[in-house]
């Protein structure tokens, strides 16, 4: 590994983020390069090491303040009650729609109601009688195939 490559990996090495093979190569280079060793030591000295456990006085204060019985009793007494709005209050709430959206909704509502009304009131036949069975279109017998019909692969159709 070259000095440039090791310099790029020094921060990751200090944080323990290198793969095993990268760590071995960087360690080998650091063992024989005094300049990179000095840079590595300077970086370690400048990088703060995180503490993993809080001091004992902080733990004691947390234990004193975080009492499960106190939290439970406060949660039962201080819980906000959800108010249900009445229908009149809900309907009286102003809608936050633009005029264009309201016009589009109104046009859609009118079109839907018009289409529904037009399909509801179908004009009767002139004679008032239902159409005769002879007026229906029949499927010729040679064209009829049941739904379960599966032609053979080698069949030839005209």
pLDDT of residue 106: 93
- With 0-12 / 13-18 / 19 or more C-beta atoms within 10 angstroms meaning exposed / middle / buried, residue 22 is middle
pLDDT of residue 108: 96
pLDDT of residue 145: 67
Instruction: Give me the average pLDDT of each 10-residue run along the chain (158 residues).
Output: 88 84 90 91 78 81 78 69 69 76 92 84 62 63 67 58
50, 26 contact by CB (below 8 A)? no
pTM of the model: 0.32
Distances (CA, A) of 150 to 30, 138, 141, 147, 155: 77, 23, 17, 9, 11
Q: Domain limits of the chain?
A: 1-67
pLDDT of residue 69: 74
């Amino acid at each position: 590994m070259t000095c440039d490559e090791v310099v790029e990996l020094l921060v990751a090495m200090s944080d323990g983020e290198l793969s095993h093979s990268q760590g071995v190569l960087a360690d080998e280079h650091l063992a024989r390069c005094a300049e990179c060793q000095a840079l590595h030591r300077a970086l370690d000295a400048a990088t703060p090491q995180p503490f993993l456990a809080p001091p004992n006085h902080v733990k004691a204060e947390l234990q004193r303040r975080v009492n499960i019985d106190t939290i439970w009793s406060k949660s039962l007494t201080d819980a906000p009650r959800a108010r249900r709005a009445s229908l009149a209050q809900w309907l009286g709430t102003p809608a936050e729609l633009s005029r264009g959206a309201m016009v589009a909704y109104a046009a859609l509502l009118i079109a839907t109601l018009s289409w529904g009304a037009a399909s509801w009131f179908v004009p009767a036949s002139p004679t008032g009688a239902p159409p005769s069975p002879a007026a229906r279109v029949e499927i010729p017998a040679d064209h009829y195939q049941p739904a379960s019909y599966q032609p053979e692969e080698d069949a030839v159709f005209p």
